[in-house]
Amino acid sequence: MVELNHAEGERWAKAELTKLLTNHSTVADPFPLLKWLRENDPVPEGNGLCLATRFDDVVALFRDKRLSRQKAAIAETAAHSPEGDDEILHQAEQAWIAMMINQDEPGHMRIRRILDEAFRPERVLQWRSRVEAITAELIDRVRDKDEFDLLKELGYPLPETVICELMGVPLADHALWGAWTEAVINAGRTATPTPAQIANVSAAIKNFYLYLRDLVAERRANLGDDLVSVLIRAADEGGGLSELELSGTLQMLIQAGHETTANLIGNGMFELLKHPDQYERLRQDPGLVPSAVEEMLRYASPSHWSQARVATEDIRIGGETIPSGCPVMMAINSANRDPAVFEEPEKFDIGRTRNRHVAFAAGAHFCLGSMLARQEAQAMFEAIVTRLPKLELAEQPELKTTFVRALKSLRVRRAAG
């Protein structure tokens, strides 16, 4: 980046921020902009929202009860809701608003306590052997190929298979989920969606709702030990989940259970390929896999932004005032490269020991499935560096036009020599 005076920097930053918030993929490297913002305008306003960029501010806002995710979810639903009187769509929208991550307290914690039981550490550890077995099967399919799409053949199938087995549904169902999830993510944070986006989001939310309504009815007649059955039992007990909360929570688990973990694997492998010294270091010492996964989460966070929250009153932070009613997003990618917290933050170091990143958010909304995501990513990268030949990029990947940091594909081939 060419040195700019402050006025020039302000004009450049404003234009780049608009591009970044409108279509993330148009800014392949957002980090020079985020560095400038941290140093000069830590809580900028753009596209009708405020963006927190410093680590301490991001953590504080994640924990601030004056920010309402529920109000933002209601506004997002209204922005993407077509005109007309479709009762099923209305129920589907209410179910989406009712999912745990879209709730404020006390509703959020009431639902979370139920899910905490299903995701308690000892239960997640019981899935390790199955995660490793699925990983081994996927590696077997590609180990003799000279070239393949790592995202398509390894990144997505692992979390898709795991979440399908946890929910007790056919693996083929993930093809439906993937299309619906992408439609919601593509426009979920668009303030002024196009008619086509509105139609796609409405259809996706409605299809998700109908699918889950049928699944719950079928499973209620034949309860088992799967995740759906666990939540149905909670719904049927006093103080448990309403039907809308049940549907919304299952949708949340599906979306979070495969998309973000797949992107962690894809983004992480891309960084290894861009940093061959670190890739070789990991091949020579697979014991570094756990710290390597943490560095991938920090350096190439799959969720680069938080979901929007609405300030319910004026909030003073970062030397600025976020006005009441303003939507706020936390720049996780910026916080994770804040030099006030991380030594040499622009360096990709798989052996980093002090790595207090916020890739899984912070506070009450800390990611419920973080332990499972780590388990899946660790199993996959250990297998990649111990069972596959050394790989290299077969072509330069492109970013998806979504508000998560995701690649369209990651084609790799055996490294020459």
Encoded tokens for 25 = 């993929």
Q: Show me where the domains of the chain are located.
A: 6-414
Measure the CA–CA gap between 23 and 25, rounded to whole angstroms. Answer: 6
**Between helices 243-274 and 276-284, what is the axis angle to 10°?**
100
Residue 163 · residue 190 · CB < 8 Å: no
The pLDDT of residue 189 is above 70: no
Q: Which residues contact 408 (CB under 8 A, 6 or more apart)?
A: 397, 398, 399, 400
CA distances in angstroms from 54 to 34, 37, 44, 166, listed in the order given: 9, 9, 11, 37
Q: Which residues contact 196 (CB under 8 A, 6 or more apart)?
A: none
Binning the chain into helix, strand and coil, the percentages to the nearest 5 are 60, 10, 35
In the predicted model, what is the mean pLDDT of residues 12-29?
81
| DSSP letter assigned to residue 129 | H
| DSSP letter assigned to residue 324 | T
197 — pLDDT class (breaks 50, 70, 90):
confident
Measure the CA–CA gap between 196 and 394, rounded to whole angstroms. Answer: 34
Q: What is the pLDDT of residue 180?
A: 84
Any idea which residue has 């196009």 for tokens? 194
Per the model's pLDDT, the better-predicted residue between 25 and 190 turns out to be 25
Measure the CA–CA gap between 224 and 369, rounded to whole angstroms. Answer: 21
Measure the CA–CA gap between 269 and 115, rounded to whole angstroms. Answer: 30
State how far Cα 170 lies from the chain centre.
24
Measure the CA–CA gap between 4 and 208, rounded to whole angstroms. Answer: 49
Residue 371 · residue 119 · CB < 8 Å: yes
In the chain, the percentage of residues whose pLDDT exceeds 70 is 95
Q: Shortest CA distance to 378 belongs to which of 270, 213, 268?
A: 268
Helical H segments across 86-127, by residue range: 87-98, 107-118, 121-126
Any idea which residue has 């199955």 for tokens? 130
Measure the CA–CA gap between 235 and 217, rounded to whole angstroms. Answer: 12
The dihedral over CA atoms of 168, 173, 179, 180, expressed in degrees to the nearest 10, equals: -50
Q: In the predicted model, what is the mean pLDDT of the chain?
A: 90
Pick the CATH number of 6-414 from 1.10.630.10, 3.50.50.100, 3.30.300.30, 3.40.630.30: 1.10.630.10
pLDDT digits (tens, 9 = 90+) for 346-360: 999 999 999 999 999
The pLDDT of residue 230 is above 90: no
In the chain, the percentage of residues whose pLDDT exceeds 90 is 60
The answer to whether the predicted template modeling score (pTM) of the entire model surpasses 0.85 is yes
Query: Is residue 30 classed as helix, strand or coil in its secondary structure?
Result: coil
pLDDT digits (tens, 9 = 90+) for 251-272: 888 887 778 899 999 999 999 9
Question: 142-149 long-range contacts, Cβ below 8 Å, gap at least 24?
Answer: 142/388, 143/387, 143/388, 143/389, 146/413, 146/414, 147/394, 147/411, 147/412, 147/413, 147/414, 148/411, 148/412, 148/413, 149/409, 149/410, 149/411, 149/412
Helical H segments across 237-369, by residue range: 243-274, 276-284, 289-299, 332-335
In the predicted model, what is the mean pLDDT of residues 221-245?
84
Give backbone dihedrals phi and psi of 161, rounded to 5 degrees, phi first. -65, -40
Helical H segments across 329-403, by residue range: 332-335, 370-387
Q: What is the residue type of 129?
A: S
Strand partners, 407: 399
CA distances in angstroms from 124 to 171, 211, 294, 320, 371, listed in the order given: 20, 26, 18, 42, 7
| DSSP letter assigned to residue 348 | -
pLDDT digits (tens, 9 = 90+) for 127-180: 999 999 999 999 999 999 999 999 999 999 999 999 999 888 888 888 888 788
Q: Shortest CA distance to 44 belongs to which of 16, 66, 70, 68?
A: 16
Tell me which H or E stretch contains 156.
none
pLDDT digits (tens, 9 = 90+) for 70-96: 999 999 888 878 877 789 999 999 999
Supply the Cα-derived Rg of the chain in whole angstroms: 21
pLDDT digits (tens, 9 = 90+) for 287-307: 999 999 999 999 999 888 899
